[in-house]
Amino acid sequence: MLADCVVLDTNALMMPFQFKLNIDKEIARLLGDVDILVPTSVVEELSRLTSREAKAALALSAKYQVVETSMSGDDGVIDVARRRRAAVVTNDRGLIGRLTEMGMPVVRLRSGRYLVMTGD
């Protein structure tokens, strides 16, 4: 079953700047017209980082729906994805492992050029 929304983690928001990836077009190609969500934990993490990519990713996050979570880091991403029955866009190996164990869908970057979906 395809998700009707996706959650972006910190890693996903940095993909456009690290890999020249149009994340909106790739998500639309893979899943169609879905809501794109960013947990408050991701916004908080990006605001603490000082790299050029992190600052650009923080600016990019403002174009998406920010969803409140009381949890931090990856726990916040998982919390929002569970509540919204969403797939998670990430290339973070630790988070992918946790999501896979829970049977949650993951969208990841392949070959630095396009997104693919694993699990359901």
Q: Give the start-to-end residue ranges of the domains of the chain.
A: 5-118
Interval 79-106: pLDDT, tens: 999 999 999 999 999 999 999 999 999 9
Alpha-carbon torsion 99, 65, 85, 41, what sign?
positive
pTM of the model: 0.94
Q: According to CATH, what is the number of the domain 5-118?
A: 3.40.50.1010
**Among 53, 51, 95, 93, which Cα is nearest to 71's?**
95
